Structure formats: C-alpha cells, structure tokens
C-alpha cells in the first residue's frame, strides 16, 4: 500500500543516519500519517536526537496483507511540538529559540494561528480587521516584540523586530513526565548541516539537503492587549518528505549559521534562529 499520489514519485526517499528501534527511549505514533516519531541517542551529536520511520499498525496475527511501504509527509505538516517553555531576556542552554522575524518577511513566514497554518501577514491582517471593526487601527502593538505597519490600501504588512525588546528568548522547560510527549519531542532535533569547516554559504547548502524539519511558531491573541503573542514552537516538514524506511532515521532542523559561529568564536551557542 502506497500512501501517496503518483505526482510524488519523483521525490527521492529520505535517507538519514540510521538508528536502532531498540535504542529509542520514547516517542509517539502519528496514526493519520502512518509515522513514528522517536527520541533516542543521536548519531551526529552528543545527547539525544529525533528519529522518524514508517508506522505500521497492522496486527501481526491477522491475515491482512500489504503493509505500508512508503508514505509522503506534505510540506508544512506538523510532526510534534518543540517544547513548552517560557520567555526571558537571558540565553540558557543550547536549545533556546529566538522569537524574531526577519524584516519584511510577513508574506513568506509561516505561523500557526487559530489552529491553521498561514503566513504571518495573514495572521496580522486578521488582528487588523478585528481592530478595524472596533474603530481601532493602531498597529504599534500587533505582534510581541516587533514593530508592525499595515497598509489598508495594498494589504501590505511590514514587520521589523523591536531592538529595545529583550524578552524574546524562548527557554524549553519540559516536565520529566512529558519529555517524550507529542508536545515536547522536537527539542531533541539536531542540526544535520553542521560542519565546523563549512563557510556560511556551504552551511546553508548542507541544510537545504540534510535538514527536512522546520520550526513554526504557534501564535495566539492576548485577551488583554489584543496582540499576537507566541505560545510555543511546532516542528513541521520543511518540504514534501518521502519515507520508505521502517527503521528509525535521524532528522534535523536548521539552527542557523550564527548559532554555530557563536559556538566557534565564543565557546557557547546563541539561541536558535533560522
């Protein structure tokens, strides 16, 4: 049984570092995707890593034939949460994230808002329309830690990080009992593009080839201010991914060149920021 259409046949199957099912320490089955998401000893870094493989829930004692042979994970599909946590102005650990959108990236940056995947611009426009109905079009506080301008005539949205706002660093803080839960597995994902000898250009080329995951922020409307605020990051497929492996393979996400540059120059990581 093939869980994909013929239009996906030109996608090369994902091949990553191969782990052992017996080494996996925890994880989840995403039944609707026929996918297992595991955490286990990393094959590219010290500590843990994130692994995926095909999930087949056919009862081995049944007479049913035709196990799942391959699956497609469409671009933008959520696989798991990154972690729950809190925001602060102090860097802590090597898995913290920066809540900072690139200038004028609203039309190309994905976020989750109202349980839907959309562009940041669409999420901001939704807030704008709500305020417009209330005769309030002040956009100065539309987005946590950012300056926003909305052009009602062109439907354009401009976003720029507020350099004076410091409490934008997200620190994962997962209780022991939830460390392998669907909300928290993403924190184990490593960067499969890291090479200490790579230039910045080479790093991003490696990331394009090796990292199939992406972080997308989940946003919510603050009930008091009416602003968009981040809740937690979600790990999604960065592109259409074809899987044929029934053994766990490690998958990664881009930490950013600045992250590794700080490690090399300062001996400590900067927060993750794509």
Encode pLDDT of 137-180 as tens digits. Answer: 676 789 999 999 998 888 889 999 999 999 999 999 988 889 99
Cβ neighbors of 104 (< 8 A, separation 6 or more) are 158, 159, 160
pLDDT at residue 59 tops 60:
no
pLDDT at residue 123 tops 70:
yes
Alpha helices in 37-171 (DSSP H): 120-133
pLDDT at residue 136 tops 80:
no
Q: pLDDT tens digits for 216-267? A: 999 999 988 889 999 999 999 999 999 999 999 999 999 999 999 999 988 8
Determine the pLDDT at residue 158. Answer: 93
Give the domain ranges of the chain.
2-99+168-266
pLDDT at residue 100 tops 70:
yes
Determine the pLDDT at residue 4. Answer: 39
What does the pLDDT average to over 81-89?
96
Q: What rounded mean pLDDT belongs to the chain?
A: 90
pLDDT at residue 30 tops 50:
yes
Determine the pLDDT at residue 5. Answer: 41
- The three-state secondary structure class of 162 is coil
**Residue 211 contacts residue 268 (beta carbons within 8 Å):** no
Cβ neighbors of 89 (< 8 A, separation 6 or more) are 166, 167, 168, 169
Determine the pLDDT at residue 133. Answer: 77
Q: Which residues pair with 39 in a beta bridge?
A: 26, 50
Determine the pLDDT at residue 135. Answer: 72
pLDDT at residue 3 tops 50:
no
pLDDT category, 2, cuts 50, 70, 90?
A: very low
Determine the pLDDT at residue 66. Answer: 47
pLDDT at residue 109 tops 70:
yes
Alpha helices in 175-223 (DSSP H): 200-210
């Amino acid at each position: 049984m093939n869980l994909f259409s013929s239009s996906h046949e030109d996608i090369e199957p994902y091949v990553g570092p191969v782990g052992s099912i017996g080494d996996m320490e925890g994880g989840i089955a995403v039944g609707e995707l026929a996918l297992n998401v595991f955490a286990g000893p990393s094959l590219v870094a010290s500590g843990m890593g994130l692994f995926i493989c095909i999930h087949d829930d056919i009862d081995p004692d049944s007479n049913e034939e035709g196990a799942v042979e391959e699956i497609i994970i469409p671009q933008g599909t959520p696989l798991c949460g990154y972690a729950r946590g809190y925001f602060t102005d102090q860097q802590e650990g090597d898995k913290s994230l920066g809540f900072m959108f690139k200038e004028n990236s609203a039309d190309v940056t994905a976020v989750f808002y109202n349980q839907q995947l959309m562009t940041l611009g669409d999420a901001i426009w939704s807030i704008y329309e709500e305020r417009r109905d209330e005769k309030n079009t002040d956009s100065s506080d539309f987005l946590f830690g950012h300056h926003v301008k909305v052009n009602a005539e062109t439907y354009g949205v401009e976003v720029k990080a507020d350099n004076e706002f410091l409490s934008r660093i997200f620190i994962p803080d997962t209780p022991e009992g939830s460390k392998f839960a669907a909300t928290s597995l993403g924190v184990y994902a490593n960067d499969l593009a890291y090479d200490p000898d790579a230039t910045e250009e080479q790093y991003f080329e490696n990331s394009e080839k090796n990292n199939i995951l992406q972080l997308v922020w989940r946003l919510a409307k603050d009930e008091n201010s009416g602003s968009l605020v981040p809740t937690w990051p979600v790990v999604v497929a960065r592109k259409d991914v074809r899987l044929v492996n029934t053994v766990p393979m490690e998958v990664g996400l881009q930490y950013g060149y600045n992250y590794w540059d700080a490690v090399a120059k300062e001996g400590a990581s900067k927060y993750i920021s794509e």
